[in-house]
Amino acid sequence: MYPTDAPTNELQQSKCPVCGSQDFEWGRLQAYYVPGTSLWSAKGRQMVKARRCLRCNNLLQFTDTARTAQFNRIVIVIVAISLLISLSVVVLSF
Ligand SMILES: [Zn+2]
């Protein structure tokens, strides 16, 4: 279901910087990366995936461009449906 749980490039498969192991599992963080320092801007927001070392539990984080694009498409569909429902309610109330 989450095709990007697997590493998407070779650099993301390099050895653990703490213990040198190459045994990992992939997951995601319940967090976003937002470029810049503004508290209010969500522009450029990206989903985050993480690689856990199975030997020392070190976590390495990467932004996940594929899941970010997927998430943005879902948001657009939800906003469009919400607008349609709002419009329907307004039209039906007359
Ligand atoms: Zn390690």
Q: 57 C-alpha to center of ligand 1: Å?
A: 6
The 10s digit of each residue's pLDDT in 27-74 is 998 888 999 888 788 788 899 999 999 999 999 999 998 888 988 899
- Residue 2 pLDDT exceeds 80: no
Q: 4 C-alpha to center of ligand 1: Å?
A: 21
Assigned domain for 1 exists: no
Q: 58 C-alpha to center of ligand 1: Å?
A: 5
Q: 7 C-alpha to center of ligand 1: Å?
A: 16
Q: Note the Cα 69 to chain centre separation in Å.
A: 9
Domain count, the chain: 1
- Residue 4 pLDDT exceeds 60: no
Report whether 42 contacts 34 (CB < 8 A). Answer: yes
Assigned domain for 16 exists: yes
Confidence (pLDDT) at 47? 93
Q: Cα torsion for 6, 8, 11, 14, to the nearest 10°? A: 20
Range of the domain at 30: 6-92
Assigned domain for 30 exists: yes
Report whether 36 contacts 21 (CB < 8 A). Answer: no
